[in-house]
Amino acid sequence: MTRAITRRTALAAGAGLIAAPPIVRQANAQSQFDWKRFAGERIEVSLTANPRSTILIQNQREFEDMTGIRVGAEQIPEQQHRQKFAIEFASGRASFDVVGISLHVNKRQVGRARWCTDIKALMADASITSPDFDFADFGAGAVAYSTQSDGRMDTLPEFTDYFILYYNKELLAAKNIAPPATFDEMYESARRLNDSSRQIYGNVGRGLRNANVVLYSSFLLGTQQRDFLDEQRRLISDTPDAIWAGEFYKKLLRDCSPPGVSGFNWNECQTTFMQGRAAFWLDGVGFAAPLEDRTRSRIAGKVGYAVVPRGPANHHCAMFGTGFGIAETSRKKGAAWYYLQWASGKANQLRYLTSGAGSPARTSPYRNEEAISQSRFSREFFSTLVESARISRPGLPEIVPVTEFRDTIGAALTSTIGGADVATELKKATEAFRPVLEASERAA
């Protein structure tokens, strides 16, 4: 006896066949994460031009093969990138799904305008978050940096930049000088190492307006006050501690740095230090790679690394950071979230560290003894990074008009290199910027 196939049975079977692949995929997801879930989609990624973005773009194929998602990535110079994404976000039609954000500059602006989606919800969804993602691996400081004051996490930490002390081992050894442990020692050593007749200088550092504030903040962090804002978020950049930091900045750059330093940004500092013309240079960790590049640097293999010296009251190093955000307007948030997991994944973070492109936001790369032992950088470099992470604090205030702040305070600092009185200049700059900050805080 045969049973005839009814129309209902046929429809049910057809529906079952159609539904089978997603069900199977879902079942597999429980045993093995489904990286192909968004295969066929294309996302646009907008990054700041730097060695880390280059690493991501060079290895992008790896992500595309794993997920089947096509990626259109661009990298744009820092200043222009910040403007581009802000204007695109403000237009309401951002051309990208994923964006790299400098948290020390744009965090509050992005957070207040709610331009990026809260990734906590995506992270909590096990169907789209790889079991290997391991959020606990991210450093606490980096996570705090990526979290807005209202608890939203609108970026995934990528890179944490610490200010460290680079020193020329040869110059220090010639005068039997040890790496300084305090700012006072640093100044005294820089003075001893200064020999302008040979065009050798004890120190080199950022003097150019705006760029110089991050160096100044390294000194301010060593004081009792530490920050630019008080607990009520009022500007306190003309206090005795702020003036002390300004005086130290002035004497270090005026007495022991090359002539013309008031126009130096990081690139002039790097050139001077690479040519063996300066003994100390306090700047971000990302410069280790060019300094150790034997084809470009005269001091490759002779660079010493140390944490920022201790201040009169505290011991901190300035921290800056970047993260990846997903545009709130993106229609491909799933694919974009996959990209974030890959971009800030353990493999890429290890690549950052071992190539010298920057200090990763995850902690696991620092524990990878095998990779570290094979790196071209010394153990001293890695131990400096670990120690810096321990003592780090944000180097800039979390405010919307941070660029205007840097320009205003920075111009005052540049004037002090020319001989202007520190207290007068800082007072003038503080008075000029205070109304801007107050207006910005009122709008918050």
Q: Which residue has the tokens 């790299």?
A: 100
| Nearer to other proteins (CB atom), residue 274 or residue 282 | 274
| Nearer to other proteins (CB atom), residue 79 or residue 127 | 79
CB of 325 to other proteins, least distance (A): 14
| Nearer to other proteins (CB atom), residue 104 or residue 209 | 209
Looking at 327, 400, 409, 426, which residue binds other proteins (CB under 8 A)? 400
Binders of other proteins in range 230-259 (CB under 8 A): 258-259
Q: Is 16 in the site for other proteins (CB under 8 A)?
A: no
| Nearer to other proteins (CB atom), residue 128 or residue 327 | 327
Looking at 246, 365, 397, 401, which residue binds other proteins (CB under 8 A)? 401
User: Would you put residue 328 in left (φ > 0), alpha (ψ -120 to 50) or beta?
Assistant: alpha
Looking at 38, 219, 264, 320, which residue binds other proteins (CB under 8 A)? 264
How many angstroms separate the CA atoms of 53 and 137, rounded? 21
Q: What are phi and psi of 175, to 5 degrees?
A: -115, 15
Looking at 262, 322, 341, 348, which residue binds other proteins (CB under 8 A)? 262
Q: Is 76 in the site for other proteins (CB under 8 A)?
A: no
CB of 56 to other proteins, least distance (A): 26
How many angstroms separate the CA atoms of 340 and 124, rounded? 14
Looking at 164, 282, 411, 426, which residue binds other proteins (CB under 8 A)? 411
Stretch that binds other proteins, among 124-132, 208-216, 332-340, 360-368 (CB under 8 A): 208-216
Q: What are phi and psi of 72, to 5 degrees?
A: -105, 105
**What type of residue is 158?**
E
DSSP β-ladder status, 392-394 and 317-326: parallel
Looking at 224, 260, 296, 390, which residue binds other proteins (CB under 8 A)? 260
Q: Is 102 in the site for other proteins (CB under 8 A)?
A: no
Count of residues that bind other proteins according to CB under 8 A = 39
Q: Is 210 in the site for other proteins (CB under 8 A)?
A: yes
CB of 251 to other proteins, least distance (A): 18
Looking at 415, 422, 426, 430, which residue binds other proteins (CB under 8 A)? 415
Give the pair of three-digit tokens for residue 279. Answer: 């003994």
Q: Is 261 in the site for other proteins (CB under 8 A)?
A: yes
Please compute, for residue 171, the number of CA atoms within 13 A of its CA located in the half-sphere on the CB side: 30
Q: Is 443 in the site for other proteins (CB under 8 A)?
A: yes
Binding stretches for other proteins (CB under 8 A): 79, 83, 86-87, 89-90, 109-110, 112-113, 115, 199, 207-210, 258-264, 268, 271-272, 275, 277, 400-401, 403-404, 407, 411, 414-415, 417-418, 443
